[in-house]
Copies of this chain bind each other. A is one copy, B any other.
Amino acid sequence: MNILITGGSGFLGARLARTLLQQGRLALNGGAARTIESVTLTDRAPPPADLQADPRVRFVGGDLLELANARTLPAAGTDAVFHLAAAVSGECEADFDLGMRSNFAATHALLEACRALGTRPLVVFASSLAVFGKQPGRPLPRPITDDTLPTPQSSYGIQKFIGEQLVADYARKGFITGRSVRLMTVSVRPGRPNGAASGFLSGMVREPLAGLRAAVPVPAETLVALASPARTVEGIVRAAEASDSDWGPLTGINLPSLRTTVGEMAAALEAVAGRPATELLDWAPDPAILRLVDTWPGDVAWDRARGLGLSADASYEQVVRDYVRENPAAVKLAAR
């Protein structure tokens, strides 16, 4: 089996690649598990060294829109495509044209290139919780369900929702086997801030654990829908494995989310790393971020994902402990 991961050098793409390479096999669309012969990673920057060292990994650097338009990717014989590449929410709001190019045009071009293969490859499209947004003067439905009408309040959310529509129609037409999964806000995201407006939901744990101060730009009672990196990758892989009939409608599904508050997140941080960690938090509401966060749903149901056997993180404290265990070099404060 040959796999392509767009955004393959990013944090999620690299983690997905490691997961797939480690399990060594993958069952697509309810079929039998087959050996993974190759994993092609495409991104602007090269992937981490451990992935480059794996003989099954191939890296194709460049601009996804150009690579797809040139039919360089996906290569003939590609069985599954995990499309994670995207410009993030903050970038798309600041630079409309960038978002339309990276998220809208590139997704369309990638689907066209998949169609051109003529082999109906399986495509898992990473959509986002950001398809849901509170409209001015109207409350958000509580909870948001798989069948709630998305009303994106950001260009990023619109572009992701358009991607879902394209994936659904390319699948209905038989050009691809399509799976759209709406990722929750991933926390704790390791590494450096990435320009996503939701970045502080990782930074407020990651930075204090590294001994650095971190801003918390929203009130403690702010409700958020989170998923750990492990649960997120689990959902993406499950989408590829599920049969068409288990998957059901071609509309996007909400991946499992842990419903918590920013205050509970801080409490979990303190439970793991003590007062020295939470004393590094600067609670200072930022009107610009508040305005954006106010449009995000915190209460998200995920019935279809549950039907596929997926589950949410048990607690945010466990999520923080997992981060500490997985990222020893980035943690300076002793965990309890």
Which A residues fall within an 8 A CB radius of B? 96, 135, 138, 147-153, 155, 158, 161-162, 165-166, 168-169, 172-173, 249-251
Contact = CB atoms under 8 A, between A and B. Distances in A.
Nearest to A173: B96
Closest 9 CB pairs of A and B: A158-B169, A149-B149, A135-B249, A158-B165, A147-B149, A162-B162, A162-B165, A155-B169, A151-B251
Nearest to A158: B169
A213 to B, nearest CB: 34
A239 to B, nearest CB: 18
Nearest to A251: B151
A165 B152 contact: yes
Main secondary structure of the interface of A (DSSP, over half): loop
B162 A166 contact: yes
A117 B184 CA distance: 37
A134 to B, nearest CB: 11
Nearest to A145: B149
A307 to B, nearest CB: 14
A250 B249 CA distance: 26
A14 B138 CA distance: 37
Given A149-B150, A151-B168, 7 more contacts: A135-B251, A138-B249, A149-B251, A152-B165, A152-B169, A155-B169, A165-B165
A231 B149 CA distance: 27
A99 to B, nearest CB: 9
A112 B44 CA distance: 27
B151 A149 contact: no
A140 to B, nearest CB: 12
Contacts of A147: 149
A303 to B, nearest CB: 14
6 contacts: A135-B251, A147-B149, A151-B251, A152-B165, A158-B166, A158-B168
